[in-house]
Structure formats: structure tokens, C-alpha cells
Amino acid sequence: MKCLSKLALLTSAIVALTDVSAIAADIEAGKKKARACRTCHGMDGIAKIPIAPHLAGESQVYLETQLKAFRNGKREHEMMTVVAKGLSDEDISNVSKWYSSIKITATMPE
């Protein structure tokens, strides 16, 4: 019985901490908004310039956290700070969902 109580408590905590906007994010809207990101990060999430990180397959939560940090000034970058300031919470969720939904694979050298 104690195990079930702990499981119920853990489940409740996870649900409470889950960002509802992440669940409701719209991939197609994110794809459209990501057009502004393609010069550096590519529509496929594979960076097109050496100083930009790859975004394909990154965690949606991670991407949202970083974009919000750029937007509110907790994280600074000459270009990203400007770009993120123009994004709403919904835009951030949608773009993050788009890039996190891209599947990538890795091939190990032999």
C-alpha cells in the first residue's frame, strides 16, 4: 500500500511539473516559425554555420528553457537575444516542439 501511495505521489508531482504548453504545442506552427531560424540552425535542425548548435532531436523542455533564458536576459547571445525577444511563449513551445520532433541517427565508426 505504501508503494502505491508513493507512486501516486510521484505521478502527481510529475503531472504538476509538466509544462502544459509543451504538450499543447503545434508542430506545424513551429515549422513555420522556424523559417526564421533556418539560416543558422537549418530547417532540419542541423546547424549551417560553425557557431550555431544543432537543434534537431534536442529535448523540447531544454529548447524552451534556453529560448526563454535568451528572451528574459538570463542567457545572452548577440543574435539569439534579439530573436528570442520577439517570441511569445506559444512561439517558443511550437518551435521547440518542431526541432525536438526531428529524428536524428548516429553512425559509430568501426
44: how many CB neighbours lie within 10 A of its CB? 15
Task: List CB contacts of 110: < 8 A, sequence separation 6 or more.
Answer: none
What whole-number distance in Å separates Cα of residue 9 and Cα of residue 93?
A: 27
Question: Is CATH 3.40.50.150 what the domain over 26-101 is classified as, yes or no?
Answer: no
Over the stretch 48-107, which tens digit does the pLDDT of each residue have? 999 999 999 999 999 999 999 999 999 999 999 999 999 999 999 999 999 999 999 999
Over the stretch 13-59, which tens digit does the pLDDT of each residue have? 554 444 554 567 899 999 999 999 999 999 999 999 999 999 999 99
CB 19 within 8 A of CB 65: no
Q: What is the pTM of this model?
A: 0.76
Per-domain boundaries in the chain? 26-101
